Amino acid sequence: QSVLTQPPSVSGAPGQRVTISCTGSSSNIGAGYDVHWYQQLPGTAPKLLIYGNSNRPSGVPDRFSGSKSGTSASLAITGLQAEDEADYYCQSYDSSLSGFRVFGGGTKLTVL
Amino acid sequence: EVQLVESGGGLVQPGGSLRLSCAASGFTFSSYWMSWVRQAPGKGLEWVANIKQDGSEKYYVDSVKGRFTISRDNAKNSLYLQMNSLRAEDTAVYYCARDHPDYSNYDYWGQGTLVTVSS
């Protein structure tokens, strides 16, 4: 059971827009801690996709955007492409756990 | 170019030990917190441990406290994870990751090394 809750899977057709939610609690996202997102392509290491809720590292297309409100955050992907098919993880900081940094369970994005 | 290269994984029996290494290059290693993050087969990501720039602070997830030890050698630009009393549930790909200097996240990851605990 992950501290942050994500849907197990989402899907969309090429060119469409999809969103992935990440729900936390008052000890992590709701406490004001930043949310970060990672993309993990099949068989590879995770890659930082969004940091500080809505910032993109250099090289990440602007088709990817992040937002946060209350105890939840969202990752939006517009103009879906086949190469976006991957697992996506949200991550934040939790003040109530000795683990400090917590992840969501991951969401598998399928491009139809 | 930032590079993190893990090594040391393999098959080990329950109760056994293993030492993972991570060779860092392309950045000033001694200026960054570093972490180990693992991923069990078909599962999600789990932070395991992290260590301050000078090694003076170390933190562990509860499930590995007392069994795993994180350390670093800044002269060798290397990060380590000594894993003792290994259990089947420790089976995972272990990633070395650099902590972002301003945010509580990981801005660079290694390719990972697989640890399998089985008899």
The alpha-carbon gap from A101 to the nearest alpha carbon of chain B, in Å, equals 7
Task: Give residues 19 to 58 of A whose Cβ lies within 8 Å of B.
Answer: 33-34, 36, 38, 44-48, 51-52, 57
The alpha-carbon gap from A76 to the nearest alpha carbon of chain B, in Å, equals 19
At residue A95 the predicted structure's pLDDT band, cuts being 50, 70 and 90, is confident
Give the helix/strand (H/E) hosting B50.
strand B45-51
**pLDDT at position A100, please?**
81
- Residue A36 has its nearest CB partner, among B35, B44, B103, at B103
**pLDDT at position A1, please?**
79
Checking if the pLDDT of A99 tops 60, the result is no
Chain A residues within 8 A of B59 when measuring between CB atoms: 98, 100
pLDDT digits (tens, 9 = 90+) for A26-70: 999 999 999 999 999 999 999 999 999 999 999 999 999 999 999
Lowest pLDDT segment from A33-42, A92-101, B9-18: A92-101
SS (H, E, C) chain A: CCCEECCCEEEECCCCCEEEEEECCCCCHHHCCCCEEEEECCCCCCEEEEECCCECCCCCCCCEEEEEECCEEEEEECCCCHHHCEEEEEEEECCCCCCCEEEECCEEEEEC
Q: A22, A15 in Cβ contact below 8 A?
A: no
**pLDDT at position B81, please?**
98
Checking if the pLDDT of A98 tops 70, the result is no
Q: What is the mean pLDDT of residues A7-21?
A: 97
- For chains A and B, what is the number of CB pairs under 8 angstroms? 64
pLDDT digits (tens, 9 = 90+) for B24-78: 999 999 999 999 999 999 999 999 999 999 999 999 998 999 999 999 999 999 9
